[in-house]
Structure formats: C-alpha cells, structure tokens
Structure 1
Amino acid sequence: MRAEQLRKLQATIFLNPDRPPDRNYNINVTQSERIPLEREVLDSRPTACHTIRYDPSHDLTTTVIIPFYNEALSMLLRTVHSILRHTPDSLLEEIIIIDDHSPNHDLKEPLERYVKFLPKVKLLRTQKREGLIRVRLIGARLAKGKVLMFQDAHTENNVGWLEPLLEEFRKNPQTVIQPHVDQIDPDTIEYQASGSHVPRGGFTWDLRYVWMQMPTHEKRRLKSEADAHRSPTLVGCAIAVRKDYFHHIGGFDDAMNVWGGENIELAFRTWMCGGQVLTHPCSRVAHTFKPFAYSFDGDREKIVQKNLMRIAELWMDEWKDFFYASTWNWPSKRTSFDARDMASLERRRALKRKLKCAGFDWYMRTIVPEIPTPPRDATFYGEVTNLKTEACLYEMDDGFVGITYMCFFHRVVPENLFSIDTRHRLVHRGRCVKVDMSNFLLRFADCATEVDGYTWTVDKTREVEGSIKVTTKTDKGDTQEFCITQVTNINTVHYKEQMPQALPCDAGAEFQKWRFQYMFMFDHKFPLG
C-alpha cells in the first residue's frame, strides 16, 4: 500500500509551476525530474571490493545527516532514496534531513507529504538561517546512531557504501573517513565513475581543497586496490565519524560561518590530535560539483576567508604566513577578527592544548612530505598556466622549459612549481631560467653564474594573471624586453612541439597571458583583532 502511494506521489510531485528555473540551481533540474528517484547506477567499486565480506558483529548503527537550503527537490529525494536502497536496515539508525530555512515552496508541504512514506527519515527545520556547518552540528546533537555520516543533499550512494566505513571504525575508533567520490554530471545528471586513477585530498596555500596525485610513500602502504588510504584533507561532501570521537575532538568549529574550510579544519585537527583521516575505495558516493546556488546572507568571500583565517591561526603555526601572503593580494578577501572571534579562537586553542595536539611541522613532515614549502623570497609562485590553452610550464629532460597539458589545474597531477623571487629571477627546483638567444627558447641555468642581467617580472592584468616579461642585456649593454609566448616551435630542437618562447611583447597576444597560482605579499598582515 505504501509503495503504491509513493509511486503515485512521484508521478505528480514535480508538477510545480512555482519551482524556480534551472539557472537558480546551477544544475539541470528539469532533467533530474525526468530521472527515476530510485535508479540503477553502475557499481563503480574496484573489482577487489566485490568479494570482501565485512564482520557484522558490531553495534555501529549510523545516522545520516543531510542539511539543505533551496535544494532541488528531485536531487534531495534521490539522495535519500539511494541511502535507503543501498544501506542494510540493521546498520541504518535514521536519516535526518534538515531544512536550513529554505524559502522555496516545493521544500515545504510537498516534501513533508513525501517524507511520510519513507522509513527512518526525519525532516527538521531551523528557525533561522544557520549555514551548513551549524546545521550539521544540530544534526550531530540529535543523532541516535553511534556513527555520523554528514552528507550533501545532491549526492548519490552506491552499493555497499557503508560497510567498509564501519570496518575502519572497528579497527580504529579514532578515524574520520570519507567514501571515494564519484561525480554526478550537473547537466545530464548522469552518475559518472571516477575511473581507476585514485587521487587523494590535498590543500593549497590559500587553503582550498584540491585533488593531488597519490604519492609513492602512500602507495607503498597499500596491499591492494581495496585498501583505505590516508588522506591529508577531506573533500567535505560525505564524511563519516563515530559520534563519541566526533564530540571528543570538538566536532566542527561552531564559530565558522555558513560554509567553507570546515572539511580542511576537521582533517588538520584529526591528524594533529592523534586520529587518522582515510578515504575508502570500496565505499562510493557520487557528488554533484556545481557553482554556488545560494546566498551566504553576507559577503561570501569574507565569510569564507574568515573561516580559513581560523584554520591558519589555530593549526598552521609559522606556515600561516604563506596563507596570509597569498590571500592579501585579493582585496575581496581582506577582513579581520572582532573580539568575539578572538574569544572563540582562544576556546579552540584550549581544546588543542587539552588534546595535546602536534604542530603543523609534524603534519607537513609526516602526512604530506610530498608538498614542498614555498621559498620565502618568492613574489609569484606555483604552476604557470597559459590562459588561452590551459597548458603549463614544466622541466624537460634536456634542460629546456617545455609545455605540458598535464597540469595541476586539472586537479590530479602535482604542481610544476616555478617562482619569481625578490631578485627578479625565474626559478624552478633551485635552478634559474634564461633565454637561449640562438632560438629564444627557455633553458635552465646556474643561478650563481649564468643569469646576470636577467630581470623577470609579471605585468599584471588581474591578481595572479598577466604577461611574463624578461629583460636581458646584450654584450653591448643594451636592454631587450621579451614576453613569454606559447608557440608551435619552428626551431630544429623540439621542432613542432608546443614550447614557451621569448618574443616581442604584444598587448593583444592571447598566447602571452599567463597565470601563477599565488602572488605572495609577505610585507602585508591581516589585522587579527
């Protein structure tokens, strides 16, 4: 009877003339409403996962906590159905969906009517806009399960997603773990497996989450493709943790506002305070990566920046200088702490002392030794990407600077790190770059003896973008100015390859525009109070 009523409701629930247009959601909601809420998706787990049998002799029931604000109703319901469909009843305590004061009408009575037909699903509503972080904390306080699963409302759980996570809690209760994240295409709503390449979570010096290549030292730890791997940070869309451990280490930082940085902060704290952060390849949850579709009830850039400043102040020790130096360049991010912020920071520092947490030096040496520390004399730093082609500079085997399309911008390959330092040298791995005057290609040279007379600058058009200019001196003492240009090379060496070449500057030349990852401004300080 209930199933029949649910099918009838599914046939009419999206016939809503008042629903906002698709552009308000930044996804193809019309297409989402055409797709069944309970659909078959590809089992995207590695083959080795299919035959594993997990020990059921535990009492770790799970509460799934799903905050939402103006979410597309079909995406929210498909998230819930995927959990109900792929979770053993004995392991699922409840699903708590929490409306963060959404004004959209289809999330009112239509949602309430639908949820009545779903087992173990509870709908709660906040009295005012709280933001994702605090709504997750509300759910954690109300949860009855021994395990908390924080999940976004535009996700989809695959078969066998929960059992591998619970097995890791059985091995080590001081674990925060995330599924391997597949993707849902925001236009077609297709469930897309992420393939055999397994990246892991990292961070940039301005504290953004990025995908990094699995380092050799971590690959050596893994015995099979079904093993959980250590993750320096969390992507944030699906995070599982034992409830007792979550509260022991301080939950999410409740002084963070709305959204932004909570995933990185929790990961830093877990690692530095004695726990571990894992990603499990046998647990698969797909996420819809899309631009923001909701307001922050304030200046979004400054709200997120203040959240990230809290991370820097609490956890990064002297490495916080790189965070502040890389973000001061963006006027939209300049903000400061008030007295209430400072008081809440002191409370979190007290928690850090109570937990006897390690410092950021330990984290860098132990968890992410593959991430190099930027040179403190760098003004521009990071991967150098051509704005027209999205290709980037890299070191070739024969000493030339080349062009590659396997760039960090695509979020799966480590950076090819260059810097322009305070002495106006272009440097990569301790070697400087000069112009080979026989063909105007770029070559590596000894910084002490071979680059006198070279001056490298960036003629900025935006914060980290512009023309890369090099000024050289001739044997007669005259100066020449060139701009680095991506070309199809016609010289004998590297013939017809894409190469960076020093050519006359042309303000309208598209292939002369480049982007560094960072501009460091170490002389400027954010006011902290």
Structure 2
Amino acid sequence: VFFDCHVSPRVGWEQAFLKQMQRKGDHRTIVVPTITSLNPDTWKELGGNAGGKTCFILWNNDFTWLYNPGRDAPLMSGGLLALSRRWWEETGGYDTNMVAWGGENIDQSLRSWLCGGRIEVADGAYVAHMWRDPKNPKTTLRYPIPTRDVMRNKARAATAWFGEFVEKVMTFPEYEMFTKNGESIGDMRGFQTVKDRLGCAPFTSYLDRFSYIYLDGGLIPDHVFQLREQKTGLCMQVKRNDRQPHNVVLAACAGPHE
C-alpha cells in the first residue's frame, strides 16, 4: 500500500482494498480509493462520500480528473494505491531514474494497463487528502518543486509507453529542453526489460480501451482527412525542422484519399 503522508483513511479502507483486489482472483489488479478532503486543522474528513476517484492522460502527458468513471481507472492520481507484492515485482516497481516528484503515476498506470494488469476503484474505500489552500498557511508548499525533474520524469514515461504518439507529446513547449536544448532523459533500458518480460501491448491498446473518454473529450477526432491538390494529387503535410517548425509542403498522401 502506498499512501501520501498528508491523508487520513476512513475506517475499513483496508478491507475494501482487499475485497476489490480479490474480486477477480488476479494478482495483477491495482486498486485506488475515492479521495475526499481533509481539514488540516482538525485532521477530520470534510463532507460526505463525494470525491475524486481517477484521472485520464492528456496529450501533453499531464492529467485531469475523470468524473463518473465507473470501476476502471485509466490513470491513478498518484500517492494512494494498493497492489500485490507479486505484481509490483513483476512490473519492475518504480522507475529508479525518476527524480523527486511527478510522472510516476503515469508510468505505473501504463505499466499495468499495457502489461496485463488493470486498475480499479475500490468500492467503500475512502481516504481524506489535505489539499493546498492559499488561505490556510498550514497547507503551504514547504519545498520547491523541481520543474526540470518533473518534466524529465514525464518525458521518460511518455518515451517508454506512448510509442509513436510520443512525437505528439514532444510538440508541447514544456518539453523544449529535450527537443531543442538536447537535454537527456536518461537511461531507458529498464523499460524494455519489463516489456520483453511481460509482453506489453502498444499504447494504441490503451487508447482503444478508453476510447470513449478520448472521443467524448475531443482528444481523438471522429474523422481524419487530408487536403489534396487536384493537379498533382499530392497532400498537404507539415514537414518540421529546427528553422521551420511549421513548414507546409506537398507530399504523397498517406492512406486512402479518394
């Protein structure tokens, strides 16, 4: 079980976790709780059972909350989860080359979904979490967030699991330290070891599984088309380079275009 230190689990959380993990008799199930709010002055849970359960990945490899998710959790928010020791060891645990904070929830979620596991919300498990409140100094950040390390962690997760879609991630300006400045994201060989051992699926299988989220949210278009010049039969394409990142050219059309 992994819990942030600034939380207060509701009585019975461990039984709810175990019940959910044992529901299918599969050691590859990770479970997460419903995350409610914690009063930092009294350390008591605020409100009722309403709270965040799970998230989904955006194209810049950030994430946001998913409302009414059902049982399956596409992405853990991080810091609150339980899994079997066996599955933890089989998937290789945390990426040892990640530093400080951030990105590990993306890596762990994709390791599970792509490599034969699953992540589910545990019915009846509630954990109150202390959120940062600018009006309450008790919740003020007490340490600097190492932005470069956070982005390197995210870049590692994307490079490891997004396949060809990592090109989309790297078009966002927050990754220019890697795409333009040539900074290294570090040794990636550990990911390939896990993929070879578990026979992990490509990222497209994740998008297929959760296509309803990405289609409804407009992150995956319903239709994809090209613009073709009638005279030459060639299509418009963006041909990027360092000097002309948005250079448009005519090139052979990709796939059927009639």
Q: What TM-score results when the alignment is normalised by the length of structure 2?
A: 0.73
Secondary structure in structure 1 of the residue aligned to 2:212: coil
The CA deviation at 1:269 is: 0.6
Specify the code of the residue in structure 1 equivalent to 2:104: E
Distance 1:322 1:190, change over 3 A: farther
Specify the code of the residue in structure 2 equivalent to 1:289: W
Q: Which runs of 5+ in 1 are unaligned?
A: 1-148, 219-228, 373-413, 419-427, 431-520
Residue among 64, 68, 83 paired with 1:241: 83
Residue among 48, 57, 60 paired with 1:203: 57
Matches within 5 A, 1:342-491: 344-372=187-215, 415=217
Distance 1:182 1:522, change over 3 A: farther
Specify the code of the residue in structure 2 equivalent to 1:271: W
The CA deviation at 1:295 is: 3.1
Match of 1:304 in 2: 150
Specify the code of the residue in structure 2 equivalent to 1:163: Q
Specify the code of the residue in structure 2 equivalent to 1:309: A
Contact 1:301 1:332 in 2 (8 A): no
The CA deviation at 1:317 is: 0.9
The CA deviation at 1:208 is: 2.0
More strand by percentage: 1
Match of 2:143 in 1: 294
Match of 2:92 in 1: 250
Secondary structure in structure 2 of the residue aligned to 1:371: helix
- Structure number with larger C-alpha Rg: 1
Secondary structure in structure 2 of the residue aligned to 1:362: helix
Secondary structure in structure 1 of the residue aligned to 2:213: coil
Distance 1:522 1:207, change over 3 A: farther
Contact 1:327 1:333 in 2 (8 A): no
Distance 1:187 1:249, change over 3 A: same
Matched-pair identity in %: 22
Matches within 5 A, 1:70-219: 149-170=1-22, 171-186=25-40, 190-193=44-47, 195-196=49-50, 200-214=54-68, 218=70
Higher relative contact order (CA 8 A, sep 6+): 2
* C-alpha separation in 1, matches of 2:175 and 2:92: 33
Contact 1:302 1:333 in 2 (8 A): no
Cα offsets for 1:314-342 (capped at 9, x unmatched): 1001221221112347779976554x81x
Cα offsets for 1:88-131 (capped at 9, x unmatched): xxxxxxxxxxxxxxxxxxxxxxxxxxxxxxxxxxxxxxxxxxxx
Deviates more, 1:205-214 or 1:349-358: 205-214
Q: What TM-score results when the alignment is normalised by the length of structure 1?
A: 0.37
Secondary structure in structure 1 of the residue aligned to 2:196: helix
Matches within 5 A, 1:490-501: none
Contact 1:306 1:337 in 2 (8 A): no
Contact 2:151 2:174 in 1 (8 A): no
Contact 1:325 1:524 in 2 (8 A): no
Cα offsets for 1:457-507 (capped at 9, x unmatched): xxxxxxxxxxxxxxxxxxxxxxxxxxxxxxxxxxxxxxxxxxxxxxxxxxx
* C-alpha separation in 1, matches of 2:102 and 2:198: 24
Contact 2:53 2:121 in 1 (8 A): no
Contact 1:301 1:333 in 2 (8 A): no
Matched, 1:318 2:170: no
Distance 1:333 1:157, change over 3 A: farther
The CA deviation at 1:304 is: 0.6
The CA deviation at 1:198 is: 6.3
Match of 1:133 in 2: none
The CA deviation at 1:244 is: 1.6
Match of 1:62 in 2: none
Secondary structure in structure 1 of the residue aligned to 2:97: coil
* C-alpha separation in 2, matches of 1:214 and 1:258: 31
* C-alpha separation in 2, matches of 1:186 and 1:250: 35
